[in-house]
Amino acid sequence: DTAVSQTPKYLVTQMGNDKSIKCEQNLGHDTMYWYKQDSKKFLKIMFSYNNKELIINETVPNRFSPKSPDKAHLNLHINSLELGDSAVYFCASSQGLAGFSIFFGPGTRLTVT
C-alpha cells in the first residue's frame, strides 16, 4: 500500500545513455513533482504537474523530459546522461497546487559513470 512509489531504486549507467524513472501514486492526488537532491542534500524542484498539465519547469536542461500519462503517474526520461546528473531523484505528490503536505517517494539514486 505504498503511497508514492518509484522504480528503479538504483540506476547505474554510463555517460551518453538514455534512462527513465517511473513514478506512481495511489493517494488520488492531482499534483505530482520531480525533485533532485544533490550530494550535499540540497533539494531542488524540477517539475510540477497538476492534472497532467505542466505547471512548473525550473531551469532544467532539455535532456530531462517529464511525461504524465494520467494523474497517478509522472515519469522522468533523461537523454544523453552526464556525470552531473548523478543525484537522488524524488517523485512526490500532493492534493492541489498549494504545496501543503507533499508526499515523497523513496527516491531513485542515479549514478552516471
Partner 1 sequence: AQSVAQPEDQVNVAEGNPLTVKCTYSVSGNPYLFWYVQYPNRGLQFLLKYITGDNLVKGSYGFEAEFNKSQTSFHLKKPSALVSDSALYFCAVRDDSNYQLIWGAGTKLIIKP
Residues that bind partner 1 (CB under 8 A): 4, 40-45, 48, 55-56, 90, 92, 97-107
Closest CA to 94 of 25, 7, 36, 1: 25
If one counts every other C-beta atom within 10 angstroms of the C-beta of residue 100, the result is: 8
Q: Which residue has the cell 492534472?
A: 51
> Shortest distance, CB of residue 16 to partner 1, whole angstroms?
28
Nearer to partner 1, 72 or 106 (CB): 106
> Shortest distance, CB of residue 31 to partner 1, whole angstroms?
9
Nearer to partner 1, 23 or 81 (CB): 23
Nearer to partner 1, 76 or 92 (CB): 92
Give the Cα-Cα-Cα angle 30, 64, 76 (nearest 5 degrees). 45
Give the Cα-Cα-Cα angle 5, 15, 74 (nearest 5 degrees). 25
> Shortest distance, CB of residue 70 to partner 1, whole angstroms?
22
Nearer to partner 1, 33 or 78 (CB): 33
Closest CA to 22 of 3, 5, 39, 2: 5
